[in-house]
Amino acid sequence: MSAFLAALRISRRGIGRAKGRSALIIVMIGLPILALTAVLTVDVTRNIDPRERLTMDLGAADAKVIARAAEPIRQNLRGDDWEPRRDRPLRKRSQAEIQAVIGPGRIIPMSEDFGEYWTGTDYASAGVREIDLRDPMAAGMFPLLRGRYPQTADEVVVTAFLKAEVGSTIRYTRDDVPKRVVGAVVKQPNRLGIKIIGLPGSLIPVGTTTAVEESYAAERSWLVDTPAPITWNETRRINRAGVTVLSRAVLEDPPPVGDGPEQAIRGWLGSRGINALLVGVMGVTLAVIEVVLLAGPAFAVGLRRRRRELALISAQGGSARHLKLVVLADGLTLGLAAAVLGIAGGIAAARAITSYLGVWPLGEMGPFEVPAGQIALVAVLGVFSGVAAAVVPAVQAARADVVAALTGRRAEVRDRAGWPLLGLILLVAGVGAMISGIWVADSVVLFGAVIGLLGLVMVTPRLVRLIGGLAGGLPLPFRLAARDASRNRGRTAPAIVAVLAAAAAFSAFTVGVASERRASDEYYRMQFPMGATAVYGNDVTEESWKKIRPIVEGVLPGVPLVEAYVPVADDGMVSFQQMDGACSRCMTTSSGFGYLPAGGPDLLRLLLGRTDRAAETALAEGKMVIFNPKAVRDGRIRLNLSTWTSDEPKERTVAVPAVVATVQGPFNVLGVMPVGVITKEGFTAKLSHLVVDPAVAHLTREQEQRLSGPVRAVTTKVAVRTERGSRQDDRPAFILWVMAAFASVVVLGGTFTAAGLAAADARSDLDTLSAVGARPGTRRLVAAGQAMFIAGLGVPLGLLIGLVPGLALASQVSLRRDAVREIGLNGVPFERMGVILRVPWPELLAVGIGLPLAAALIAMAFAGTRTTLIRRMG
């Protein structure tokens, strides 16, 4: 213990004398701790605990109940997950029936749904809630900011999401029902859609939705005030009536969670917890390895600068264990300092973020909360990173030549060329784990990445020595840089692996983004021909079409409109689907033309993109024009006619005369049906689309928006869309730029740290060069060569290695997507595309060439050229 305390004192004094190096190490270790602390604190503050939400969800009530099923159920603690779930209509329950289930006490209704209001240019969707906020049970749910609560059906209060002043009037629903805004209330965290609140019966029309629609859209609940708290036993009794309960007493004294009949169910998210935990552990492990690799060379810098001090300790009787303790004490002290400063900075940053966003009820964040247990683990992680980064320099210190250090000569340190055989084994095992993780889980892929990175740490020293031996034909400055890196593998290899890991992370993420974008393009099926603008809606009434058509003709005067029809029966929509399933690539989304649109020659020309006289003649004769030759047999196509109603679908099979028309590329639809076929089969042809042929007019986005507002003002069941192909999300591109910036910082930081150490070690050699006549430019070229060696080896190799986890994760995403799409929609399976991958070679080449060149140029620009004459001894 005395030796350890002495090592801590020596370490503290050494850190004080080398403030710049110490600050660099603290920053390298502390920045990840700061970021992790801030993220954890903001996350726990934003994710409000169910007990913290009690006032928001219950007000002053004892519980909230919702009728879920017509049979006994089991629920979780909050009542937002239950079993068994049944996909069948729910019978509405009256307040008297709910009162009978609850027993003694008082209940008030509360409903939540979506409505529309006029913004001044268009109708926008808004979450609405019906509740009497004047009732004592609702106290605290929506605190007032200004004004008062509604007292009549034509009064509402609004949250900050609806920018309406108190005293103004809003137009609610498509009927433009006037609602006077009498108050402004706070918004609830995690309920971003609630904008309008009114009295019961004032916002959600009664009897306008079916039971099925209400079960998925409107949520009707009741606040309950009972003489005694609703315990878990009382909750289980109410569950037997098919009613879930959110009880204040249950959340304050929760029962066990498990599979027992009297326990709360775990919920559907429980099965994903283990994989998420493993992913987090693997991610933290990779981060620790990266920090160790970055900080390790900085500790080696300290070892080079303090070798005389350590030699004096050894000359006065200090053993190799004592020298190790001194260097490890550096890691412990700096790691502890980095942990303290990082945690303090992270908490301060989280506090600033929370203050900016606001704490409920004035903001959307919950009460500020510091996750002490998680942050303690982060602190341990920081201290461990510091000690781990000092392990290799500590071993080198124990092996140092005392005489050489005291005389000022450079000592030869035993520097093994790694463990290449073990490293290769781990590297192969890591690649195998990443490949097997395609069919298992994300955590297996990340585990393979950890094993592979450890293998690279063991292999890289041998690789550095091999490449250094090939530098004989290079110009003198670059030859000196390469051989210096080869002789000092202890500081060169960790920097190269750190640079490699950052480049590999960037490569893996880039491959994932590029593959996802390619998959979006491959899976995308145009709803309409490219450039066509459609005004469409299967549920639009004939009266609404009579109002919509003049609006379209007014915005696009003289432009002919192509009409498309759908078959309808007296009791529901009709679906025409092919029997033999030979056209999986013909399917399109439900908002497009559908499987088989009906229309005339103009619709056929629109879909074909050309005029086909033979096909138009056949269509006029009452034959279908089909785009897939495999679907037509003996001049006919067999179709399954399904009539979709609220009951079981009615199905029958028909064989219709058909001809084949050739199209290029994936089909948007199976073909075109004559309108006469619809009437011949006993159905009614209903107008569903008005389409602008792109060959006649091509609408800009501004024209599309100018047309959409007036058209949607007629009915919400109509939409306007111009087909412009697959629409890519800009968020992955933004994240890609963030990842590129992060990788650049890590690459340049690791490169310059190792290059600075190399310059310090090679100072005497560079002074000798200057003494024999070398120009200052030679010293700059040596510095550029040192940076180029590290970045030029680490970045390209990392980009190539990162392809393995990137392709593995992208393949896993593709397989999951196909597994989901195999389920299909309404019993019809979607097209399976298989594994879709893309490697963005231009981006990778730009990074692989640009970053090493940038590192070399920056190192050359800031290289020191001043010569310091020294006296050598020995």
Average pLDDT over residues 364-386: 84
> Which of 233-237, 361-365, 430-434 has the least mean pLDDT?
361-365
pLDDT band at 746 (very low <50, low <70, confident <90, very high): confident
pLDDT, residue 216, reads 39
For the chain, give the mean pLDDT.
Answer: 78
Residue 618 to residue 345: CA distance in whole angstroms: 76
pLDDT in tens, 152-190: 999 999 987 777 888 899 988 877 789 999 998 887 766
Average pLDDT of 770-779? Answer: 71
Q: Which residue has the tokens 């350590």?
A: 310
Confidence check: pLDDT of 535 > 70: yes
Res. 586 pLDDT band, cuts 50 70 90 = very low
Query: Residue 686 pairs with which residues in a beta bridge?
Result: 566
Rounded to whole angstroms, the maximal C-alpha distance in the chain is 110
Q: Which amino acid, one-letter code, is at 232?
A: W
pLDDT of residue 588: 41
What's residue 792's pLDDT? 86
Q: Between residues 382 and 761, which one has the greater pLDDT?
A: 382
Residue 1's pLDDT is: 62
pLDDT top residue among 360 and 219: 219
Give the H/E segment covering residue 758.
Answer: helix 730-761
Residues 85-110: pLDDT tens digits?
765 546 678 889 999 999 899 999 99
pLDDT at 124 over 70: yes
Decide: 583 and 667 in contact? Cβ < 8 Å: yes
pLDDT band at 731 (very low <50, low <70, confident <90, very high): low
Decide if pLDDT at 664 tops 90: no
So what's the pLDDT on residue 741? 76
Strand order in the sheet with 533-536: 671-672, 624-626, 650-660, 636-644, 572-578, 561-569, 684-692, 533-536, 719-722
Question: DSSP string spanning 144-179?
Answer: EEEE----STTEEEE-TTS---TT-EEEETTTTEEE
pLDDT at 582: 52
What share of the chain has pLDDT > 90, as a percent? 11
Phi, psi of 445 (to 5 degrees): -65, -45
| pLDDT of the residue at 63 | 94
Half-sphere exposure (Cβ direction) of 290: Cα atoms closer than 13 Å: 26
- Contact between 699 and 533 under an 8 Å Cβ cutoff? The reply is yes
pLDDT band (50, 70, 90) for residue 70: confident
Note whether 109 and 198 are within 8 A (CB). no
Residue with tokens 């006289």: 613
- pLDDT one-digit tens code per residue, 596-616: 888 999 998 888 888 889 999
> In the predicted model, is pLDDT for residue 874 greater than 90?
no
- Model confidence at 727, pLDDT cuts 50, 70, 90, reads low
Confidence band of 585 (pLDDT split at 50, 70, 90): very low
Residue bearing the bigger pLDDT, 364 or 455: 455
Among 55-64, 439-448, 575-584, the range of highest mean pLDDT: 55-64
pLDDT digits (tens, 9 = 90+) for 685-714: 888 899 988 888 878 777 777 787 788 778
The angle formed by the CA atoms of residues 571, 575 and 581, to the nearest 5 degrees, is 155
Output the pLDDT for position 404: 60
In angstroms and rounded to an integer, the radius of gyration of the C-alpha atoms of the chain is 36
Helix 19-46 × helix 320-357 angle, to 10°? 40
Q: Please give the pLDDT value at position 180.
A: 93
Which residue type sits at 795? V
What are 491-529's pLDDT values in tens digits? 777 778 888 888 888 888 888 888 877 777 777 767 778
Instruction: Indicate the pLDDT class of residue 572, thresholds 50, 70 and 90.
Output: low
Question: What is the pLDDT at residue 340?
Answer: 92
Question: Predicted confidence band at 866 (pLDDT cuts at 50, 70, 90)?
Answer: low
CA angle 548, 550, 555 (to 5 degrees): 100
Q: Are the C-beta atoms of 55 and 141 separated by less than 8 Å?
A: yes
Mind listing the pLDDT tens digit for each residue in 446-491? 788 888 888 888 888 888 888 877 777 778 778 888 887 777 776 7
8 A C-beta contact, residue 818 and residue 441: no
